[in-house]
């Protein structure tokens, strides 16, 4: 792939990227995952109407899953905490073998 012609703005942007790439990687993360389109659209519609951000959704979901996992210790040995989360059992069934 051929780079576009250098302009002062492109040169400055590339230099900034080169200098700050590692700093940016250390400051944030990306899960790089995909979800089915209908679920994606449902989540985006919810976020738009409720005013929440995707970061808030992830943080709240993480906190809830930690609560569920902590509560699983008090439950029977054979029961999985993962299936207590609504909809997660469906995701687990569709997960490819790794």
State the average pLDDT over residues 4-11. Answer: 90
CA gap 14, 19 in Å, rounded: 9
Tell me the pLDDT tens digit for each residue of 37-53: 999 999 999 999 999 99
Alpha helices in 28-95 (DSSP H): 37-50, 54-72, 88-94
pLDDT level of residue 5 (50, 70, 90 thresholds): confident
Q: Are 75 and 69 in contact (CB under 8 A)?
A: no
- Residue, of 2 and 16, whose pLDDT is higher: 16
The upper half-sphere exposure of residue 81, i.e. CA atoms within 13 Å in the direction of its Cβ, equals 12
DSSP state of 77: T
pLDDT level of residue 98 (50, 70, 90 thresholds): very low
CA gap 36, 10 in Å, rounded: 36
- What is the predicted pLDDT for the residue at 60? 96
């Amino acid at each position: 792939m051929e780079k576009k012609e250098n302009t002062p703005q492109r040169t400055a942007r590339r230099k900034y990227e080169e200098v700050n790439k590692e700093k940016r990687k250390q400051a944030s993360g990306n899960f790089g995952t995909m979800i089915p389109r209908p679920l994606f659209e449902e989540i985006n519609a919810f976020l738009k109407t409720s005013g929440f951000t995707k970061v808030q959704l992830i943080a709240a979901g993480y906190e809830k899953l930690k609560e569920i996992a902590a509560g699983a210790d008090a439950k029977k040995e054979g029961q999985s905490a993962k299936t207590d989360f609504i909809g997660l059992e469906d995701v687990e069934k569709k997960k490819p073998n790794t």
